[in-house]
Structure 1
């Protein structure tokens, strides 16, 4: 495994300090995220996490909107790695995900000592209070937690576009039963870190439990955003594994069933009871 401490900044990357009062303190829960052009939902994302985490470190991958300015202005954001040059090569960009997160983890360990790390994407909402949750875990319970993630969908009954004055949590009514278990939480142990090619999932965890639920809004912000998402995967990801699938989804933003031809459910026990485990499918 490649140690997080071995990841290095590149010439196109700059570390920006946010709230420096957070640096050097010992924290219960620190959060890390990487993003590009998330200005629409980012204010709500940061406000949603404010009462749950002690500090946030972020990697901005060459955003062309106000993402970096929003990050810098928020009191829970301690450090930002700002990349000025977006990687055009599909393979290189995918491989870089682990390095981006490795940089963030290394910075957090050095400047924001913590007990637990949360790795999240801006369009995700874990539905429990995370600080309370990790505070209730004993050392014997686990060293990492996989969270059960479900995609929210635009439907004929519910397809008004998301606007920044709304809370994203529970914004949509219907969700697909496809369940992806995403490793989002882990203890601050040196043996846990990112290895090239593993993207979002750190290596070195030993006792992992699956718990909690997460709403994912990447498919359901608006019809226009759906079309932008389709174009993004078509243009910037391998065609056979991503582009072909998303090309077929163009013009199909409003759903009566999931992308995998299964019934949609309202958030709650019926959804969880009908969950279909998936291996990272989007």
Structure 2
């Protein structure tokens, strides 16, 4: 072991127990990042302690010989052991202390500046690797897939901080910055190790989890299910290389979603052709149906090509129940038809079409833009704002766009607008592509979007293009409102969003020559801005959490306002007051 007087820049600390299969690999890897490691060996029964004693990176070991199996004691120990390690590391006078687990392989961000005095700590983005049928027989380091869910965990702290570890994430640090990524193999070593992990959480920890379940309940459901084709939160697995394109933060809301059991009906007036409402409906059903505890069905007045895809591709059937926990409806005619069958949330997509007007029979309302929310408010209806929802695993950048635009795509809904853009492309020497839904509807529109460098369109068409990392010129000439444009929308996106990227923010009636000027604003680096916006605001995985949380609020308010609930509340108050009076009289006696 290295002498205590040899100053270190970074010391790693970790509590370990029975990590013989991993710890040498992790320590070898960490030698690229830290100057030494201190470990708390929690009464290991395998060769972990021998490996620690022989490894040149290990500075010191705190040895615990008496392992306590009580669930409450184990929960306390999780923080207490890290506190001991952090305090012990300070004796070596390091500048930084890195807190890690023995199944984690860190990758520090390139160019990280640990001399920057603006930050007290760094968080790392942790992704879980999984065992799959394709690689179950391979070594854990050859696993191919991770879950898209990540956790941002503070792990690197200034040694001068006075931290308090009640759990893995301590209290006592201030400004924090991004430090890098972590490959977490805790779920990916072997099938046997997976089951041991499940049994540990089942038998030895007490901790409430999102969805108001205990950690033991969550891991009981996972026992015996080491081999995955989806993540533990029912999302498609991805590769490490694609984490930035498809990653999603594992929020408590997202985790809660995987614990609920609901009968859900998704309803819209027509599913016989391709359009905004139809693709929105398909996307919602696709997202909800991946959760095994959700029983999802659909309703429409007009079946057709899209309902066929819902049944064939998603395995979701037509309405068969008399009652549902939740009905997600797109149009007022649907609400009028179904309002007796359950709690209805009507999503209003616009302010003009008659079908989009609110129905008094809906339980609650979702507005897809501030403009729609204001419109509903004027009519006397409160609503929740949730932007258009896009499947970002389907709509994503399949290739980077050109430095200078070579191909433009029109997603406009009018022949007049298409003619203008076609002329623009010809004048500028650009290839012209078109998806005119009234003549040639295209289901896999994401493939066509990815062939273009620049896209013209409004509303959902614009959002789908942004999700594919394509710069957008908000422009069209719809029959039900004036032909306005917000132009090359990057610098005004926040304002344009208020009006659902309809052009009604700027209200510019751009000529052909003015549109050519907008094309000159094209910047290929904007592809990252637009994809980033989609990830933040349009991701259907995040937006479904908002819908379900809204439903739970509506359900609670409905219960609270029931006459029987109010009567019970009044009776409780009367009884409480009466008991208080009786107690006072008894004391007087």
What's the TM-score, normalizing by structure 2?
A: 0.40
Residues 83-162 of structure 1: pairs in structure 2 closer than 5 A: 83-110=64-91, 112-128=92-108, 136-162=113-139
**Partner of 2:39 in structure 1?**
58
* Alpha-carbon displacement from aligned partner over 1:69-120 (angstroms, at most 9, x marks no partner): 111111111111110111122112111222211111112112x111111111
Q: Using a 3 Å threshold, how does the CA distance of structure 1 residues 271 and 229 change in structure 2: closer, same or farther?
A: same
Residue 236 of structure 1 aligns with which residue?
204
Matching residue within 151, 174, 178 for 1:180: 151
C-alpha contact (below 8 Å) 2:107/2:180 kept by paired residues:
yes
Q: Does 1:72 align with 2:44?
A: no
- 1:220 aligned residue: 188
Distance 1:227 1:98 in 2: 24
Aligned to 1:265: 238
For 2:185 and 2:65, how far apart are their aligned partners in 1? 26
Matches within 5 A, 1:251-262: 251-262=224-235
* More strand, by proportion: 1
Q: How far, CA to CA, are the matches of 2:76 and 2:60 in structure 1?
A: 23
Give the 3-state SS of the residue equivalent to 1:27 in structure 2.
Answer: coil
Structure 1 match to 2:219: 246
Work out the CA distance in 1 between the residues paired with 2:32 and 2:184: 20
Tell me, in whole angstroms, the C-alpha distance in 1 between the residues paired with 2:8 and 2:164: 21
Q: Equivalences for 1:4-43 in 2 at 5 Å?
A: 19=1, 21-43=2-24
**8 Å contact kept, 1:33–1:122:** yes
Contact 2:120–2:158, Cα closer than 8 Å, also in 1:
yes
Counterpart secondary structure, 1:262: coil
Scaled by the length of structure 1, the TM-score of the pair is 0.82
Superposed CA offset, 1:256-280 (max 9, x none): 1101000110112x32222221258
Preserved CA contact (<8 Å) 2:38 2:89: yes
Alignment partners' CA distance in 2, 1:263 and 1:46: 31
> Shift of the alpha carbon at 1:59?
0.3
CA distance in 2 between partners of 1:69 and 1:229 (Å): 22
Gaps of 5+ in 1: 1-18
Greater than 3 Å deviation, 4+ residue runs: none
CA deviation map 1:130-185 (0-9, x unaligned): xx755x2343441101100010011121112537xxxx4xx321000111111110
CA contact (8 A) 2:30 2:105 kept: no
Residue deviations 1:183-209 (CA, integer Å, cap 9, x gap): 110111133x124xx211222111011
CA contact (8 A) 1:149 1:179 kept: yes
Residue 32 of structure 1 deviates from its aligned partner by: 0.3
Show the counterpart of 2:170. Answer: 202
Contact 2:12 2:100 in 1 (8 A): yes
SS at match of 1:127: strand
CA contact (8 A) 1:237 1:243 kept: yes
CA distance in structure 2 between the aligned counterparts of 1:22 and 1:33, rounded to whole angstroms: 19
Q: Indicate the structure (1 or 2) with the bigger Cα radius of gyration.
A: 2
Q: Is the 8 A contact 2:72 2:204 kept in 1?
A: no
CA-based RMSD:
2.0
Give the Cα separation in 2 of the matches to 1:147 and 1:24.
Answer: 29
Partner Cα distance (1:88, 1:214) in 2: 29
Shift of 1:243: 1.7
Q: Distance in 2 between matches of 1:117 and 1:160?
A: 36
Matched, 1:278 2:278: no
1:67 & 1:224 partners in 2: Cα distance?
A: 18
Structure with greater contact order relative to length (CA < 8 Å, sep ≥ 6)? 1
